[in-house]
């Protein structure tokens, strides 16, 4: 129980008032949550959380995820007090300023103790579920050397988000007893009391998911310690309801939305200092309090040293190192080249989703750091291979997750898998449902995580399912995300090349945009896939440059041949495999591929948005100007005039 010679109230005050003072100095931020949860965080960090600031990325550390990322100063205060070397008092004072490590919401990569970027509510808890799954996989494969827990602090807002429902439901299904959810139950949201919008019984909801549910007064140190102690050996994931007062210690703003998202103000800070017996200047931490915090920060040193010995004695340490350091086997790329040549030699007419399956089959056979999955579409998006085994409550040695109809959770959980142990996760759904994944895809890109999104049924070419399932604007939406690679291959050869680039892109997520319908294998005049766009079919002194991606490249080839052979209009075809990679090429290469003195015509069964960059004001776009329709694929392409005849007609008209 609580050590008698430690003043936990003052330890918590150190956390609380660093947050108050930083928000006040910045004149921006969220002081209320750190004030209310300081006691819980103090007990967690001083008595339960296993971490070692001298090696902030220790593989067996407990993870602490601040899903309620608006309360970022809670985390920054704890990292500073516990002695993390990359944060000092000046960083705290510089909270929310340009180039500050202490950003408005925790940003992965800015400080070693930040496990994931949080802020969009619900993302943190879903990412934490991915981390908990990752820990289970490591423990199953490599033994009890991996026995840490994942703690995630959520607010009322996190639990309102649909993403939290999805992720916590899966966590309960998998009985992730290494996951401990700490609910800051202050009953306040930005608009006021949460009763304005929610009245459900959260305890019953969590119990229905399969969680062990308990509660405690979030300001009572003894209760906090007892409830955290009780869950350490739980056989189920744990959900703890900590009843707190937002803005705890203030007078007028305590328990009010007024302490949520704005500074307290000088008068309220004076009141809080008096109420909580903290008579120190802003940012001043008494020496004895700071020293005690540093000692608590170092309390896992012996555990850390013992773990290092166990780690070095593992019989399969080389396999583990390969996984954790994201290193491929020495002969992997040699095998990949051989596989790539086999695909080219087969020259098959097939859907690129089928070509993707062939690549994934090879990858899952030859790499141990892949975690595959799908949002209940395994047989449609072809993500399950002969080398994948389903992960379930009785088998975490597998490498395939059935996410259920939970696209958003799938994407966020994959971020957790990537962050926790450097797994390379891939997950599949239909391209149109990328909208459900968008927020998590954005965070993949923001955090530079190597996550692969397998997105099939990429156009009106999927046919009879109609406009609700036919993506139109999704390609443009994905291409608008910074640091995301979007590949839309035209055949099996380009599909293999796309995966090769995705596997080499260690600091970027990738989206594979794949067809349902069969596509012909195209003969190529060049193989500059790595340039993002290249001249696939060429002629001397072209007058017209026809640019296309995916299933429309075959249309472009036919158009070029008709123009050249029937109308004697020299026309080349450019396959636009990836906007993002092509943009990075030299000006000379871009001019070589898309010469200024040619008429540009782009063909893509999607929105025009984004193509202006390549075809200019005088160019032609053959594509979608509306939503799709239900019908056979071939009928739809004719109906929307994405045809050889229409492209030829428009080019001839433009050249007149």
Considering the domain architecture, whether residues 485 and 544 belong to the same structural domain is answered as: no
Considering the domain architecture, whether residues 502 and 538 belong to the same structural domain is answered as: no
Considering the domain architecture, whether residues 385 and 473 belong to the same structural domain is answered as: yes
Considering the domain architecture, whether residues 241 and 345 belong to the same structural domain is answered as: no
Considering the domain architecture, whether residues 67 and 94 belong to the same structural domain is answered as: yes
Is the residue at 319 inside a domain?
no
Q: What is the reported pLDDT for 525?
A: 87
Considering the domain architecture, whether residues 231 and 162 belong to the same structural domain is answered as: yes
The SS3 call for residue 452 is: strand
Considering the domain architecture, whether residues 207 and 257 belong to the same structural domain is answered as: yes
CA distance 600 to 20: 58
Q: What is the reported pLDDT for 109?
A: 98
Considering the domain architecture, whether residues 341 and 436 belong to the same structural domain is answered as: yes
DSSP 118: -
Is the residue at 343 inside a domain?
yes
CATH number for the domain including 28? 3.40.50.970
Is the residue at 38 inside a domain?
yes
**235, burial (CB in 10 Å: exposed 0-12, middle 13-18, buried 19+):** exposed
Is the residue at 521 inside a domain?
no
Is the residue at 315 inside a domain?
no
Q: What is the reported pLDDT for 428?
A: 98
Q: Structural domain tally of the chain?
A: 3
CATH number for the domain including 630? 3.40.50.920
Considering the domain architecture, whether residues 369 and 467 belong to the same structural domain is answered as: yes
Considering the domain architecture, whether residues 478 and 533 belong to the same structural domain is answered as: no
Contacts of 344 (CB under 8 A, 6+ apart): 493
Considering the domain architecture, whether residues 25 and 131 belong to the same structural domain is answered as: yes
Tokens of 34: 């750190």
Q: Which of 457, 489, 513 is the last residue of a domain?
A: 513
- Is 319 a residue of the active site? no
Q: What is the reported pLDDT for 5?
A: 78
Is the residue at 321 inside a domain?
no
The pair phi, psi for residue 353, each rounded to 5°, is -65, -35
- Look up tokens 């199953």; give the residue: 140
Is the residue at 294 inside a domain?
yes
Q: In which residue ranges of the chain is pLDDT below 70?
A: 1-4
**Catalytic residue selected from 161, 257, 407, 604:** 407
Q: What is the reported pLDDT for 158?
A: 98
Strands 571-576 and 620-623: unpaired
The boundaries of the domain holding residue 158 are: 8-306
Give the tens place of pLDDT for each residue, 208-234: 999 999 999 999 999 999 999 999 999
Is the residue at 327 inside a domain?
no
Considering the domain architecture, whether residues 616 and 567 belong to the same structural domain is answered as: yes
CA distance 384 to 388: 6
């Amino acid at each position: 129980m609580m050590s008698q010679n430690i003043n936990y109230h003052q330890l918590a005050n150190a956390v609380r008032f660093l947050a108050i003072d930083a928000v006040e100095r910045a004149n921006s931020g969220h002081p209320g949550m750190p004030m209310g949860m300081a006691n819980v965080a103090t007990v967690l960090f001083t008595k339960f959380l296993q971490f070692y600031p001298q090696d902030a990325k220790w593989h067996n550390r407990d993870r602490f995820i601040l899903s309620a990322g608006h309360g970022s100063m809670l985390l920054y205060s704890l990292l500073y007090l516990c002695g993390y070397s990359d944060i000092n008092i000046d960083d705290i004072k510089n909270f929310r300023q340009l180039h500050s490590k202490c950003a408005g919401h925790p940003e992965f990569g800015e400080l070693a103790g930040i496990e994931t970027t949080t802020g969009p509510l619900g993302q943190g808890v879903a990412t934490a579920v991915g981390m908990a799954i990752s820990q289970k996989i490591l423990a199953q494969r490599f033994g009890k050397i991996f026995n840490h827990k994942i703690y995630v602090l959520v607010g009322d807002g996190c639990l309102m988000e649909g993403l939290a429902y999805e992720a916590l439901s899966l966590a309960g299904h998998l009985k992730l007893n290494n996951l401990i959810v700490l609910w800051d139950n202050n009953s306040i949201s930005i608009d006021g009391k949460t009763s304005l919008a929610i009245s459900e019984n959260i305890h019953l909801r969590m119990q229905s998911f399969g969680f062990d549910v308990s509660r405690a007064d979030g300001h009572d140190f003894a209760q906090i310690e007892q409830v955290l102690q009780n869950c350490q050996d739980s056989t189920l994931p744990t959900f703890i309801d900590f009843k707190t007062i937002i803005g705890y210690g203030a007078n007028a703003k305590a328990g009010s939305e007024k302490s949520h998202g704005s500074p307290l103000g000088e008068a309220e800070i004076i009141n809080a200092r008096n109420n909580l017996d903290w008579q120190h200047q802003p940012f001043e931490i008494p020496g004895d309090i700071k020293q005690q915090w540093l000692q608590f920060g170092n309390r896992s040193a012996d555990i850390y040293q013992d773990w290092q010995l166990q780690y070095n004695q593992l019989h399969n340490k080389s396999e583990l190192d390969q996984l954790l350091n994201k290193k491929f086997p020495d002969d992997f790329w040699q095998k990949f080249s051989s596989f790539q040549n086999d695909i080219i030699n087969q020259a098959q007419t097939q859907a690129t989703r089928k070509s993707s399956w062939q690549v994934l089959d090879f990858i899952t056979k030859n790499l141990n750091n892949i975690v595959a999955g799908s949002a209940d579409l395994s047989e449609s998006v072809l993500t399950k291979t002969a080398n994948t085994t389903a992960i379930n409550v009785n088998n975490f040695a597998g490498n395939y997750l059935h996410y259920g109809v939970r696209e958003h959770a799938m994407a966020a959980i994959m971020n957790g898998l990537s962050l926790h142990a450097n797994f390379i996760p891939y997950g599949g759904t239909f391209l149109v449902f990328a909208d459900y994944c968008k927020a998590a895809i954005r965070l993949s890109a923001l955090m530079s995580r190597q996550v692969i999104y397998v997105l099939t049924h990429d156009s009106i070419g999927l046919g009879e399912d109609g406009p609700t399932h036919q993506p139109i604007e999704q390609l443009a939406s994905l291409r608008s995300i910074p640091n995301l690679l979007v590949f839309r291959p035209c055949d099996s050869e380009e599909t293999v090349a796309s995966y090769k680039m995705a596997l080499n892109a260690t600091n970027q997520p990738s989206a594979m945009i794949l067809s349902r319908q069969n596509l012909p294998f195209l003969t190529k005049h060049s193989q500059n896939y790595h340039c993002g766009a290249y001249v696939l079919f060429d002629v001397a002194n072209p007058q017209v440059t026809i640019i296309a991606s995916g299933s429309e490249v075959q249309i472009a080839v036919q158009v070029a041949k008709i123009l050249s052979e029937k109308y004697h209009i020299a026309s080349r075809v450019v396959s636009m495999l990836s906007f993002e990679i092509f943009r990075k090429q030299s000006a000379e290469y871009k001019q070589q591929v898309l010469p200024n003195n040619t008429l540009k015509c782009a063909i893509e069964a999607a929105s025009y948005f984004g193509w202006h960059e390549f075809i200019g004001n005088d160019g032609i776009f053959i594509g979608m100007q509306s939503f799709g329709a239900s019908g056979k694929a071939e009928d739809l392409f004719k109906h929307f005039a994405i045809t050889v005849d229409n492209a030829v007609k428009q080019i001839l008209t433009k050249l007149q």
